[in-house]
Amino acid sequence: MIKRIKAVFVAFVVIAIALSCSLTAYADGTVTYVGGAEKYIFEPGSEYSPTDLFDGFKNVFPGEKRTQRVEVRNNYDADKRIDIYMRSLGAVEGSEEFLSQLTLTVTMLEDTKIFDAKADQKAGLEGWVLVGSLIKGGSTTLDLTLNVPETLGNEFRNAIGELQWQFKVEEFDIEPDDPAPPTGDSGVIMWIFASATCFVVMLYIILVARRRRTDEEQA
């Protein structure tokens, strides 16, 4: 009986680990808040900018529709909750003509569009927009879509456009009633491992209780 319970437990843990791996999503760009002196890490960067998040928007051609993700993470090594905001500073000087030809949309939490305008504009990101309230290890994602018109002329061959996004973090002590991360794999993974832990604890209690009863009966 005990061996069967152990086998079930092992199977449960294996399934839990397998599920957690398959739930991890790939993000094209990442904004990671690490606190301390460095504060933020922007990846992957590029030959044009060390903080470039737009790895999927290189070498675009007329008529193309490109999509990519940006993952925003809290890797701050402290028991703090962070509210992370973003806003657009618009096109860098000299980039306006090219970027004004392109349409960019930014969606968070899969259905909340926070930006839908020409890429040189600030539009819905002119002011600070809360993109996530994250505890340590939490993350959220931004889905980006870039539409390049078919009418984009030859004068924009090899054009380079720079667009600046600013991020702001406010740190808070964690309160008992703080909500779980709004999205991200870590929340689901937490529930899976919490369930596994509860299961193990319950099993242990049952086994101990049974053994005591057996010992008492024998006594």
Q: Which residues contact other proteins (rule: CB under 8 A)?
A: 31, 33, 35, 39-40, 42, 46, 48-49, 51-54, 57-64, 83, 89, 92, 98-99, 102, 119, 146, 148, 150, 152, 154, 156-173, 175
Least distance between other proteins and beta carbon 155 (Å)? 10
Contact 164, 96 (CB under 8 A): no
Question: What tokens were used for 31?
Answer: 């904004």
Among the listed residues 69, 70, 74, the one whose alpha carbon sits nearest the alpha carbon of residue 133 = 74
| Cα–Cα distance for residue pair 102/65, rounded to 1 Å | 10
Taking the complex as a whole, how short is the minimal distance between the CB of residue 104 and other proteins, in angstroms?
8
Tokens at 104, concatenated: 């960019």
Q: Among residues 159 and 207, whose Cβ is nearest to other proteins?
A: 159
Phi, psi of 85 (to 5 degrees): -115, 160
Nearest Cα residue to 57 out of 106, 21, 13: 106
Which helix H or strand E contains 40, and what residues bound it?
Answer: strand 39-43
Give min distance, CB of 201 to other proteins, in A. 31
Q: How far is the CB of 138 from other proteins (least distance, A)?
A: 16
CA end-to-end distance (rounded Å), the chain: 22
Rounded Cα gap, residues 47 and 50, in angstroms: 7
CB of 50 to other proteins, least distance (A): 8
Nearest distance in Å: CB 98, other proteins: 7
What's the half-sphere exposure (Cβ side, CA atoms, 13 Å) at 107? 11
